[in-house]
Structure formats: structure tokens, C-alpha cells
Structure 1
Amino acid sequence: MASDINYASWPRHVARHIDVGDQKQLFLDDGFLVERAEGIRYVMHQPVKHPHNPLLVPDMPWELQVQLYGSVLWDEEDQTYKMWYTNRTCKYGKDSAVIMAYATSEDGLNWKKPALNILPHEESAKTNLLLDPGPGGSGGVCVLKTPDEKNKKYKMLYKTIEEGGGLKVAFSPDGIHWTKHPKTVLPGVFDTFNVAVQDNDKYVAYVRINQRPRKRHRALGRIESEDFIHWTTPTIVLKPDERDPEDTDIYTSAAFKYPQADYAYIMMPSLFDWRTGKLQVQLATSRDNAHWNRAGNREIFIPLGEPNSYESEEIMVGAPSVVKDQIHIYYHGSNRPHWNGMGRPFKEKSGIGLATLRLDGFISIDAGEKPSGGTITTVPIQFSGTHLEINADATWGEIRVEILNDTNEVIEGFDRLSCQPVIGDSVRHRVSWSGGDVRTLIGTTVKLRFHILCARLYAFQFKTKHP
């Protein structure tokens, strides 16, 4: 495993090394891993929307609108996709009451809303409704599955308006039958979707903060807890700035710890434009789960749909997940401007859709057809794996890797010509040299130099060979 490094305070490009161990390293566009680059560019990749979207729509008598102010998990233990989402209903005599609902799927595409005997709705005794926060409803629900005591295997963080509002938590042995914690765990407004992640030995949540003055007043705060009940005071970690239009708020985070790589945290924040009412998704990255940078020159990460489609005016992402060799990004969309729906019947279209990326596919380092393509040289690293793998698309070109010592001299046997060219498209290309074995370099300080010709590079990893 890599050592615990404070990436935010660690000066770049200095004479010290990063211990990458046998963990995957993503090339996020902060340039942290790169000491020198020539002829390359960082490219953010938009996920591909599923052609059958929306996959889940409001088709039950108690559903006026479905929203993924919630979570979707691939449950390895049960071999099932599980979704906790919010449902706007007419309960309490108004159109904006929000109750939490549940759906399952075997393939992540075809969803079932099980008839649970938990919360009835009018003449329907059995519904898929799970938890009623009360007359004020809830702005969203985040569910984690953790290796915890039996009755708290599933943990829920949600926001409510009743009893003065604030953040609340609930626990469940199966993700269906929930026991609310009796007290508000953190008072405050925390409007809309708040996301919790498990980060090593603690929990971290990203919550909505309403600042003043009105312009650019919504931002994202960060809180921590050791037990999911006692939380720290929020610290703002992402907010609109001078590069954003004046009438812009950061609305939701969709933050998660990327499980496939070391020190890689991802957000997919939705930005709200007060002028148009649109909500659009960007991409943000972090190395330490505390200091965040918006990626891809702040371009749109998931574009809105065609006019009058179910996603033409707003998109908000639930917490993403990694399933096999794909990143699954479930999101909800609507064809109403966000400020134009309160206080009137929900006749607009809404639904929950899916977009996917290749494994590690957020950002790549690309090089084109210049005579020698492009190169990147990493900062000094140490590793413990037994062989090098890269995630790369070299369908129309090739990638070669050479290994340098800490004085920038190519190590004998690991030069460019000795490297077998990596060609084709794979998330697990194995890199080899005719004159060297990387096991002889374990524990020494080295640099990697990637020679990229008409190809794109997403990640690298010194993997440990298992028998």
C-alpha cells in the first residue's frame, strides 16, 4: 500500500518520492504525478448515456416525480443492484412531499419496484416506499453498505425539515427495514442531496451550505465522523468563484472515493444557473478528499438532453459506482427549469438514467501524430508490485515505457527500444522489456517515462502477481 501523503501540502516536482506501492495511479488533470510533459494534452471524457434511458420513471400511483437524490449500489454479496431514490408524492396535501423509495435490478438496466409491506399509500397497502421523513420531506438520501455490526450494515444519511431540520441518520440490517436515530446528528439547513463516503477509518460527508449574499451562495461543505453519528462542523471545500457566471450555485456533489485507485476522489457537481434554471454537471477531482479542483477546464461532463426530453433542463448525479470494468453513473433528469417547478403540479417529464465510462476513464493523457508523439515523465516513485500494467487505448498507435533513475538516467535494460510496444485498447495492458525485470527495481526510487504516439493513457499500476 502507498504511504499516507498529504497531497495538498506536498510541493510538486521536488527531490522526494511518492510510494505508489502496488496501487493504481490515475492521471487526473492536476498534473501531480507528472514532472515533465511534452506534446501531450489532458482530455476529459464524457460518459455515454444508455440508449434506453430513462430506465426508471414515475409509473406508480404514489409517484409524481422520481429523483436520484439517492444511491445505487452493486451489492456483491447479494449479486443485485440496489437503488434508494426519492419520490415526490401528494401526501400531506401538497405536491412536494418527498418520501424515500427502493428498487432492485439484476442487470442495472431493468428495475423492479418491490411491493414492501412498510409504508402504504391510500388504497395501496404494499408499495416500494421505505422511509417517511415527515411533512417537510427530505432533500435526499445517501446509503452506504459497510462491514459493520449486523443491525447497522446499511447506513443512511438524510436531510429533513421537521423538528427544526438538519441531518439525520438511520441504520438497517438489510437496506429495507430502517431504524431512525432518535436525534438530529447535525443541525442546519443542508438543502438537497448530501453524500457520505467511507474513507479508511472514518466517514466523510459532503453537504450543501447556503452562504450569503445571494449571488453564488450555494456551496459544498465537508464534515467527518468516526461513528456516523457525531459529525464535525462543516468546512467549505468547493464553491462558485470569479470564473463562474455571477448567477451560479453549486447544487449537489455526487462525491465518491474511487475504489480502483490510490488517492483518487471524484465529484460530479451540478451547477445551477439562476438565469436559465438549468442544472448541469461538471467534474471535480481531489487527491486527499479535502482539497478539490474542477477538471476539464470546467466543461460540461454530462450534457443535457434534447429539447423537451426527460433531461432537457436539469441533470443531477447520485453517488457513482464501479462495476467490473465500467464506471456506472446513475442520474436523474427533468424537463422543467429548476426554479419553475415549486408550487404547481408535476406534469413535467422526469426519470433516472444511466451513463457509463470505461474503467479509470475520467481523464486521459493524449498525444497525436507529431514525429515522436508526446512524452510524460513521472515524479520520483517507489513501488512494490511485480509487473507494470497500464490502462490505455493505443488502437491507432503505440505506447512505450522506459524507466529512469532519480538522476534522470535511463536504467540499463529498461530503455525505450527494449520495451515491447503497447498496442490496441485494453484496461490492463502488461508492459514488458526484453532486457529487464521490474522486480529488480522494487524499493528503489525511479521515474517512468511514457512515450505516447497516437494513443491515450489513463492510468498505471505496478501489480502484484498472484498465484
Structure 2
Amino acid sequence: MTIFCVSCTTWASDLVHVGHRKQLLVDDYVIAEMTGVVRELGKVTKLNDGKPVFDGLFFGSVLYDEGKFKLWYRAYPYGYAESSDGLHFRKIAHLTGLDIVSDNTATFYIDPHESDPAHRYKACYSHRTIRAALAYSADGIHWKAYNNGNPVTHRASDTSNQIMWDEDAKAYRLFTRTDFGTPGGAGEIRGTRSMTNPDVKADPTAWTLVREWKFDREGPEEWKRRQVYALNDWIYHGVHFALILVYEWPEDMSEGPADYHKRHNRNILEYYIATSRDGDSWDLTWVYAGKPMVPRGPDGAWDKDIMVPASEIVTHADKHWLYYSGGNERHGMPRPLAGIGVATLRLDGFVCLEATDEPGTIVTKPFTFEGDKLRINVWGDEILVEVLNRKSEPIPGFSAKEATEYKNMDELRLTPTWKNDSRLSTLKGRVIRLRFHLKNARLYSFQVLE
């Protein structure tokens, strides 16, 4: 039940900022109430018949830039490859200038905030001391180290560490491993930490700790059930997506010795996502629900036991491309089958709000309408949109009875309309709510545009 207060303070505080940013429905940031609707994780499609698209391994990165897919993969030294279609890659070169010796881990980033072409590419890698180090490059192949080649953090870094720019926070973020137990061995308890730095070039060591954490929702012994093996952050329309490599049932070999056909469920690595509005407080719903973003393969598959996410997700050609490294045996075991695969996902399709046979409704929180049209990403049998005032009363001309009802839709950018030529431009500057009506339908996102 929504209770309205007449105080000006309450009226102001219940507004959410929407502007022209696409609103993803991964959480309740913009949602006031839902009836007959559930939040569901999107389903990916593995390309190339589920087989590897590249003979290599991560930790690493795939980025889309200059009209091509750019892939950095784990090798001795690290390698770089390119592809025009995201499926067929050509090895270009081995990297130079990175002192990656110990656990041979690195991720790569194209910095949108950087003004100096010599520093356009940045890398975070595991220094020989198992501490995170940073480097820069003009071409992604020839690298020079920051901080005279010395680490910029304390232990640990033997995983997928990451540097990235957060435009909303106006700061760089650094994600690395951290220890909650012994540094390796039987007492090792893996966790993750995040840090910020406003200017990496001015001082590559000036990192302020934001948070370090481990899985403990189920109590202090949860590390025996799951650990954070790695966490990278990918920002999409203001939402932080944690690409989490989760170590499930660490070191538990109760399912027997090496078996390259059987799909195991213990001592494995899974690819999950979590979401956040600040890059710190993560919604771990999908982890605890046991719903990976990219599922492992079936019995006999090359990716049946190990899934290692690339450091970012590529958005290209109205799809999200989720690259990963797979393996056909458990953590710490020899894996004769391994490689890099890719799965795609509908644009904005990470999470949807879904109604099934019974009609469902979604009402947004109030926001100032700052455009003249609305676009929605939707799939399903029946969809219509009405516009409400702040008190959730239909605005004349934009009620459900006056809305166009759409049937059998699969649209990434549907522009809803209303009868009698009612135009959203007449509502510009007003505080409104939206009410979506769905039946056998999924709503992925909406956006206000000029």
C-alpha cells in the first residue's frame, strides 16, 4: 500500500531521478509497487553450438572498439587477438612490458575518461609479489608500468583484478582479491575488495578502501560453502553489474577423482551477476538463488565444471556478448578441454519483470518527465502503458482505456501511443508515474527521450 503525505518535504523526497537514462528493472530503484509480476534472471544463448570460439584461457578481457572485438588472453606472455564478428579470432601479438610472473593474471580496459592517447589502454595485473599492479598503453600491446613497476596494493591479486572509470563517482575503481584467512593453503578464505582513486596518473598508489568483504550471509562458516574467487564491475546505464566468479564448495572432492564426462557440483567455479547502484552494496539475489548468469555445460561438455567471466560485457548489434573461459574438471584439477566461449543476451535482458497468465501491473515511483516520448523494451502477448499523476490517478488522455494495447510484441524500442493523438510532450516538466499492464509478457527497461 502506498501512503501519500501532503508535506512538501515528503513530496520532494519520494521523487526519483529518471532524466534520459535508460531505466533497468534489476531492482526497485524506480519501482513503487508490483502486482502479479515477478523478477526473473535473463537467459543467455551460447553461440557456436556451445563450443569454444578461441583456443585460449582467461583471466582476461574482450572489448569492442574501432569496429572489432579485441581479446586479451592468458598466455606466457599474455596474448592479443581480434575478430570482426566476435566468433572467429586471429592472434595478433604477445604483449610486452608487463611483469606478470606469479599467477599470470591480468585484465584490460579502454579508459573513456583518458585524454592522453598514450594512456588510452589500462591494465591491472598480478605482480610477482601477488599484489595488484597497473600499466598503460597506446595500442593495447606495448605496455609501460605505473608506479615504476611496483605494486599499488597489498596482497592478494592472483585472480581477475580490474581497474575502471566510474563517471558518476568521478573516480577510478580498483577491484582485487583479498585474504580473510591464510595467504594460500588449507586456511585460505577468499574475499574481494574495492578501492577508489580520483587520478591514477597523478598517484597510482592513492587508493582509498571502500569495502572488503566475503560471503557470510549464512554465517561465519559460509566460506566452506562459497567464496568470492573474483569480482569485476561493469557499468551499464548507471547500474553496476558485478561479474562474480564464485567458488562453490571449495576443495570438496567428495564427488570422486577426475571424471571428464560427469558434470560436478562441488569444488567448481560459477559465473554469477550481482547488481548495485553504488558499486559497493551488491544485491546477491542470484548467487543465493543458485542461478548463474551463464550456466555451465552438461555432462561431457568442455565447460561443465569451470566458468571464468571476461572482465567486461560487450554490447554490440543490439545484444550483450558474455565471454567466458571454461574447463571440464574442477578447481585444481588438470583440464584437457578448455577454451574461451561466448553467450549472447537480449539487449537489457539481464533481468526482467514478468507476468504470466494472470494480468500483472507495475507502477513506478514519481519522477519529473523531462522528454517528449517514451520507449520500452518488451516481449509478450499483451502490453499497454498508462500515465498517472503523482497520486497514482490516471491523467486524462493517457489512461488505460485510452492507451494502445499491443499484442504479440517483441520490441527493443517500442514507442507507446494513446488514442485521440494524446502526446507525451504536453506532460513535459510534470511529475508523473507510469503504470505498465502485462499479460504473458516481460518488461526489460524503459527510457524517456527528447
TM-score range, shorter-chain basis? 0.7 to 0.9
**CA distance 1:367–1:137, shift in 2 (3 Å):** closer
Q: Which residue of 2 aligns with 1:202?
A: 171
Question: Corresponding residue for 2:23?
Answer: 25
SS in 1 for 2:118: helix
Aligned AA (1:103) = A
Give the C-alpha shift of residue 216 in structure 1: 8.5
Name stretches of at least 5 consecutive residues in structure 2 with no aligned partner.
1-9, 253-265
- C-alpha RMSD of the superposition: 2.2
Q: Offset of 1:378 from its aligned partner? A: 0.7
Does residue 322 (structure 1) correspond to residue 315 (structure 2)? The answer is yes
Q: 1:148 aligns with which of 112, 115, 130?
A: 115
> CA separation in 2, counterparts of 1:290 and 1:195?
15
Cα shift at 1:56: 0.6
Q: Counterparts in 2 of 1:33-432, with a 5 A limit? A: 33-52=30-49, 53-57=51-55, 66-75=56-65, 78-87=66-75, 89=76, 99-114=77-92, 116=93, 128-146=94-112, 147-160=114-127, 162=128, 164-181=129-146, 182=148, 183-200=150-167, 201-212=170-181, 217-228=189-200, 229-236=204-211, 239-243=214-218, 246-258=224-236, 261=237, 263-273=238-248, 274=250, 275=252, 276-296=266-286, 297-318=289-310, 319-341=312-334, 348-370=336-358, 373-394=359-380, 397-423=381-407, 424-432=409-417
User: Aligned to 1:209, what secondary structure does the other structure show?
Assistant: strand
SS in 1 for 2:332: helix
Per-residue Cα deviation, 1:401-446 (whole angstroms, up to 9, x for no partner): 1111111211111101211123310110001112422112222211
Q: Which residue of the partner structure matches residue 344 of structure 1?
A: none
Alpha-carbon distance in 1 for matches of 2:320, 2:212:
25
Contact 2:195 2:211 (8 Å CA) reproduced: no
* TM-score, normalising length: structure 2: 0.85
**Using the alignment, how far apart are the partners of 1:231 and 1:54 within structure 2?**
40
1:61 maps to what in 2? none
Asked if structure 1 preserves the Cα contact closer than 8 Å seen for 2:131 and 2:156, the reply is: yes
AA at the equivalent of 1:184: P
TM-score scaled by structure 1?
0.82
Equivalent residue letter for 1:282? Y
Of residues 266-275 and 213-222 in structure 1, the stretch that sits farther from structure 2 once superposed is: 213-222
1:339 aligned partner, one-letter code: G
Alpha-carbon distance in 2 for matches of 1:80, 1:153: 17
> For the residues of structure 2 that align with 1:215 and 1:415, how far apart are their CA atoms?
61
Identity %: 28
User: 1:103: how far off?
Assistant: 0.6
Post-superposition offset of 1:233: 4.0
Asked if 2 retains the 8 angstrom alpha-carbon contact of 1:267 and 1:285, the reply is: yes
Deviation at 1:316, TM superposition (A): 0.9
Distance (Å, rounded) in 1 between the aligned partners of 2:82 and 2:443: 35
Do the aligned partners of 2:137 and 2:144 also contact (CA within 8 Å) in 1?
Answer: yes
| Contact 2:211–2:280 (Cα < 8 Å) also in 1 | no
Give the direction of change, closer, same or farther, for the CA distance of 1:44–1:79 in structure 2 (3 Å limit). Answer: same
User: What code does the residue aligned with 2:139 have?
Assistant: D
Instruction: Provide, for residues 355-400 of structure 1, a one-character-per-residue CA deviation record: whole Å limited to 9, x for no partner.
Output: 1101100111111122xx0001111111312200000002xx1111
Distance 2:414 2:281 in 1: 31
Q: How many residues align?
A: 406
The farther-off stretch of 101-110 and 289-298 is: 289-298
Q: Where do 5+ consecutive residues of structure 1 fail to align? A: 1-11, 58-65, 90-98, 117-127, 342-346
Letter in 2 for 1:106: S
Tell me how far apart the structure 1 counterparts of residues 12 and 331 of structure 2 sit (CA, whole Å). 47
